[in-house]
Amino acid sequence: MVNNMDHGLPKFSLLGYDDWKIMMEAHLYALHDCMWMVLEDGPLKIQMENPERNPAAPDVVQYIPKPKEKWDDRDWKKHNLDNVAKALIFKTLDPITFSKIKHLKTAMEIWQSLGKLCEGSEDLRKQKIEVLLEKFKSFKMLPGESFDMLDERFHKILNDLASLNHILSPKEKNVRLLRLLPTELYTKATTMEEGRNLENYTFQVSTGMAKDQSRKGSFDDCLHNHSPEKGLAMLIEEIHYTNMQEMVPDTRDYGYHSEDGKSSDILDQSTLRHPRVIEPIVSADQIHFYNNPKTFNDYRPISLSTFMSKINTRILADRIHLLLSKMISPEQTGFQKGMGVDEQILLVEEMVHKLDYKVRGDNVILKIDMAKAFDKLEWQYIQGVLGKVGFSSQAQHLLMANINSTYLSLLINGSPRGFFKMKRGVKQGDPLSPLLFIIASEGLSRALKFYMSTGYITNFNTGGGKLISHLAYAVDVIIFCNSQSNNLIKVKEILKKYQEASGQEINYNKSRFYCGKGVNTYTTLQMERILGMKKGTLRFKYLGTPICKGMLKKGDCGDLITHFSNYIEKWYSKTLSQMGRLILIKHVLCTIPLHYMAVHSLPKSVINKLQQMMTTFFWGHTNNKKRYHWTKWENICLPKEEGGLGIRDLEELQFAYSIKLWWNFRFNNNNCAQFMRAKYSTQNFSEKLTDSPIRKRICRINDSAEEFMGDITPYREDEDEI
């Protein structure tokens, strides 16, 4: 049988091991049904039924080894299958490989050894690298292939090379990719290819240029059941010089100076009547986003606009500000007057408190990191969302003209040379850009809210209260949902559609999900596979403050103390008078903890540490020795009328922020206050063991707050109406 079948045996090679393995499996199966069992489990054991086994004694084994004298021809053939498999494998091997495995006894040992030999072989690695490099060098765009498919094939080659520890330089990747660009991009590709320092360009810049030619933004999938808003006629009113006069004093109050060195002080009525006196130019600069930037990816383009170029966008931005509350979901609070980060952080703290709530499927929090969000936003998507939220075609044209008429230039030897047009993104540093960004983000915001309110996506269970589907502050997005697999797949699909429509890209390497303690390892791994992101650990940082479960501890305030000490160490290197140190303490150091105090109760030990550092800095030191402290810190913090220096005491500041938190809970109508009132009683302020730290803080301050407020009967009536 072997002689009849071995003429078609594939030859073994390190390079083609995967193909050889598949063909050998088919060949061995064709010879005998049990041949594969020999390779997996070793030589077959010839057994017979135990004659001593009795149904009344089930503990006796059913099968026992069959004596050789009782073997028939079929048994001998099964016993010989191991030798047949060994012979077939040996026939496929070259002499060098045969010498490495000839000492092995069974076919199973030989098969496993060949697999390990190929996986760890340096020769195989080099051969695979050579094959992949050949594919890389001959890589071409296939007829009818989209840029997304091209990019996927290209990245597969790069990932395969990276898995073999062979990393291509940015220059090699760029040169290969630029040669694939279509004819209309040939000039740009040639310019970059022939320019100097090509290695400083990133591969993502090149792929973005190519993808931009074929991307078709779709926004209908992200906006559902929202009729256009009306009453936006004031946006397209003609801009008169009186509008400029109203706007200029605001900028003058802030001492605004533009990139060209001119400020609003030079403008008077005659200048505003003839605005062509000053040429409106916008310059873009690359501001490094990280310390010690090493690549072009570590920079972000910031628009350094002249004063006159900002007049138009500033007036439009002021007009849009009046309309934002009518078109933006309450879950978005970025770049809007009267809405800060505090309520976002407080809501996240409340949701984290309910992370371990017993519910089918468990609760999960997704913290999404958008990569270069301002730079990747598609113009077609922006215009589509503007139409969906109610902007007329004339208003859309007016707003889009401020971004699609932008040209960029490169400075060569200090002078701009040539221009190329922007294709996507909004200008960071321009007054209008943040507003366009949050309007465009409504696509994702409304989609998440709609799908959770209709039950398509199972929401985060808090045990009652207002539905909180997500929170967004500019590019920081947090999603709250159930962790069941089908639910996460739906969320991932919505995020995918949003990325395809808007041009945004989620950085899954930096994104994290957070789940409760009861979620086992298997479920966690399954969630990582579905979402494509790693599990994070509590605590994590959100909008500048730590988010943790339970009360804030001293260990959670390490960043705050470090930030505090960095300022003091920097000032110690300067020669400062005691009055200078006093001013720095009052206007800088005392303001650093305010962001923490607004959302957390700082531990007593942290407050004492900060005040100790301020005390030491205020009195100074001589020859690295602390000077004598002539009075207590409490006396220094008294008002000037009472003999103090007017420094704000941190404990009193924390008390004041607790009062403010209590007031917002009772009488405010923002998203956080509505959630808290729906979840907790507004009449009973008895502290419970299961309450969140925020609720406990409100309960503890209630008596003092009502004492300070005096008669709050009118407010109670308003509270009942709320």
Q: What is the 3-state secondary structure (H, E, C) of 370-407?
A: ECCHHHHCCHHHHHHHHHHCCCCHHHHHHHHHHHHCCE
Amino acid at 529: R
pLDDT of residue 60: 61
User: How many whole angstroms separate alpha carbon 502 and alpha carbon 445?
Assistant: 13
pLDDT of residue 256: 46
Residue 3: is its pLDDT beyond 50?
no
Structure tokens at 547: 């988010």
- Pick 575 or 147 by higher pLDDT: 575
pLDDT of residue 194: 39
pLDDT of residue 188: 45
Task: Check if the beta carbon of residue 444 is closer than 8 Å to that of residue 477.
Answer: yes
pLDDT of residue 604: 93
Distances (CA, A) of 590 to 341, 561, 567, 620, 662: 19, 12, 12, 17, 22
pLDDT of residue 253: 45
Q: How many CA atoms are closer than 13 Å to the CA of 165, on its beta-carbon side?
A: 4
- Pick 177 or 526 by higher pLDDT: 526
Q: Are β-strands 282-288 and 299-305 bridged in parallel, bridged antiparallel, or unpaired? A: antiparallel
Residue 75: is its pLDDT beyond 70?
yes
Residue 222: CB partners within 8 Å, gap ≥ 6?
A: 443, 444, 446, 447, 494, 497, 498, 501, 502
Average pLDDT over residues 395-401: 84
pTM over 0.85: no
Neighbours of 436 (CB within 10 A): 28
pLDDT of residue 227: 41
**Tally of residues, the chain:** 722
pLDDT of residue 420: 75
User: How many whole angstroms separate alpha carbon 98 and alpha carbon 93?
Assistant: 6
Q: Which residue in this structure is represented by tokens 């004093």?
A: 249
User: How many whole angstroms separate alpha carbon 626 and alpha carbon 231?
Assistant: 65
Average pLDDT over residues 442-450: 90
For residue 627, the SS3 value is coil
Residue 154: is its pLDDT beyond 90?
no
**Structure letter (DSSP) for residue 257:** B
**% of the chain exceeding 70 in pLDDT:** 75
Confidence at 96, pLDDT banded by 50, 70, 90: confident
pLDDT of residue 602: 93
Write down the H helix ranges in 120-240: 122-137, 147-163, 170-178, 186-194, 203-214
Neighbours of 590 (CB within 10 A): 19
- Pick 231 or 147 by higher pLDDT: 147
Confidence at 249, pLDDT banded by 50, 70, 90: low
Q: What is the CA radius of gyration of the chain?
A: 35
Q: Tens digits of per-residue pLDDT, 474-504?
A: 888 999 999 998 999 999 999 999 998 888 9
Q: Tens digits of per-residue pLDDT, 529-542?
A: 999 999 998 889 99
Residue 594: is its pLDDT beyond 90?
yes
Closest by alpha carbon to 338, among 324, 351, 350? 324
Residue 281: is its pLDDT beyond 50?
no
Average pLDDT over residues 331-353: 87
Q: Which residue in this structure is represented by tokens 């041949």?
A: 35
Residue 229: is its pLDDT beyond 50?
no
pLDDT of residue 14: 67
pLDDT of residue 575: 77
pLDDT of residue 295: 64
- Pick 92 or 245 by higher pLDDT: 92
Structure tokens at 703: 């008596």
**Structure letter (DSSP) for residue 12:** P
Lowest mean pLDDT among 53-62, 220-229, 299-308, 607-616: 220-229
pLDDT of residue 623: 64
Q: Is the peptide bond before 539 cis (omega within 30 degrees of 0)?
A: yes
User: How many whole angstroms separate alpha carbon 497 and alpha carbon 505?
Assistant: 11
**Structure letter (DSSP) for residue 86:** H
Residue 243: is its pLDDT beyond 80?
no
Helix (H) or strand (E) holding 470: strand 470-473
Residue 121: is its pLDDT beyond 70?
no
- What is the phi/psi pair of residue 300, to 5°? -130, 135
Task: Check if the beta carbon of residue 545 is closer than 8 Å to that of residue 596.
Answer: yes
Average pLDDT over residues 278-291: 48
Average pLDDT for the chain: 77
Task: Check if the beta carbon of residue 667 is closer than 8 Å to that of residue 718.
Answer: yes
pLDDT of residue 109: 86
Amino acid at 182: P
